[in-house]
Amino acid sequence: MISSPANTATVLRRQQQRLQFQIAGEDSPDSSSGPATFSPGLRAYRHAYRARLQAALRDNYLVLHRALGDEAFDALALRYLNAHPPHQPSIRWFGDGLAEFMADEAQLHPSLIELARMDWALRAAFDAAEAAALLGVEDLAALAPEDWGGQCFRLQPSVQLLPLQWAIEPAWRQLREYEPEQGEAEPELAEPEAHAHWLLIWRDAALETRWRSLEPLEAQQLLALQAGDSFASLCEMAAAAAADPEQSPHAAALAAQALGRWLGEGLLARN
């Protein structure tokens, strides 16, 4: 009996799907014969597949990897892979849920979870879409005085505002600058202190990822921009945050000063 092309395609598709599930370590949807057995060749593919995904996690989470060490990180990566096989078309995005997965592991210090979040946010900023055009000083100069209050400013796509509960930045920097391949001694890290704050992350015009910690007012203002608020709202926030009531009349100047810094850092895109 000769099978129709449609039936042949269906059988081939099922075989490919079954092979994919076996390599990935998942149960095939139509599997009913118990645990799978693997030929030596398939075991080699399966090992290479999992090793490649572990390597991708090490690449995406460089600082976390250095904080945990090879053995602990690889064990974490394997647990994550078993719980969350990749379903994205690109391996680049494998690991997007690692920080949330780590939050369910009680033995991990919460600052390690925040190192993972910072690692991922920096990678995401690097790969973010390009802004059509960055806002420049000439754009602000073209605004009529009466238009400033209602003017809204847009953050460029790579900008991320990351809430943190621990002061992880010094440890992150030390681990990022540490070069074990050059024979450097592992840095001695102090345990991060609890400190609720925001971290600003972005990609600059030279395609370098940047970050800096934010004071409460600047974080509030950037979050307001992200939500679509106007320049007048930034001024109101500056006035409300002024420790000296006599500084309130200068709120517009303070907001404009912040705006100038953001322009210089390339944070703002044209509307």
Kindly report, residue by residue over 172-191, the tens digit of the pLDDT: 999 999 988 888 888 999 99
The pLDDT of residue 250 is: 82
pLDDT at 4 over 80: no
pLDDT at 7 over 80: no
Residue 47's pLDDT band (boundaries 50, 70, 90)? low
Does the pLDDT value for residue 18 go beyond 60?
Answer: no
Give the CA dihedral 36, 41, 45, 46, nearest 10 degrees: 30
Domains of the chain, by residue range, sit at 6-29+39-108, 131-271
**185: which 2 tokens?**
């001694």
pLDDT tens for each residue of 109-153: 999 999 999 999 999 999 999 988 999 999 999 999 999 999 999
Q: Which two tokens stand for residue 187?
A: 């840095």
In the numeric block, the tokens 């990351």 are attached to: 162
pLDDT band for position 45 (cuts 50, 70, 90): low
What is the spatial distance between Cα 56 and Cα 48, in angstroms, rounded to a whole number? 12
The CATH code for residues 131-271 is: 3.90.930.50
Residue 179 pLDDT: 87
Question: pLDDT at position 132, please?
Answer: 80
The string of DSSP codes covering 53-71 is HHHHHHHHTHHHHHHH-HH
pLDDT in tens, 76-114: 999 999 999 988 888 889 999 999 999 998 789 999 999
Residue 116 corresponds to which tokens in the numbers above? 């993972």
How large a percentage of the chain has pLDDT more than 70? 80
Residue-wise pLDDT tens digits, 211-244: 999 999 999 999 999 999 999 999 999 999 876 6
Q: What is the pLDDT of residue 44?
A: 53
pLDDT score, position 229: 97
Residue 29 has pLDDT above 50, yes or no: no
Q: Rg for the chain (alpha carbons), in Å? A: 25
Helix, strand, or coil here: 201?
A: strand
What is the predicted pLDDT for the residue at 181? 81
Q: What is the pLDDT of residue 17?
A: 46
pLDDT at 10: 56
pLDDT of 50 > 90? The answer is no
pLDDT surpasses 50 at 28: no
